[in-house]
Amino acid sequence: MVSVDEIRRDFPALAEWTYLDNAFVSLMPRQVREGYDRWADQWYNFDVGNRTILSGWLDAANRVRGAMAAFIGVTPKEIAYTMCTGSGLNIAINGTKWKKGDN
């Protein structure tokens, strides 16, 4: 099992701070930054006619979808990507059949 100290090392800001404001913008872990940098480099050097890069991005997104589905015990088709948490919550809330008295 991963220790709390190991997890904290993945967030450089936590070496100096205790960060509690996750409602607006959360800290980015090292692994996400490294993945984002790889993606940004590919995008920056993107060859418009090269479908291999786009296919690789979709493959990576689907691998993450499968891993997340396995982690929470659902099928990959039940995992959706949204722009942000608020968008995802709005989809879920507006897709619910509310009845009088529901909270």
List the one residue out of 52, 79, 43 whose CA is nearest residue 64. 79
Give percent of the chain with pLDDT exceeding 70: 98
**Token pair in block for residue 13:** 């800001």
Mean pLDDT of 82-97: 92
Spatial neighbors of 57 by CB under 8 A, at least 6 apart, are 39, 42
Residue matched to tokens 């996750």 = 22
Interatomic CA distance for residues 57 and 34, integer angstroms: 15
Tens digit of pLDDT for each residue in 24-54?
Answer: 788 999 999 999 998 888 888 877 667 788 8
Interatomic CA distance for residues 18 and 80, integer angstroms: 31
Q: Where are the domains of the chain?
A: 46-103
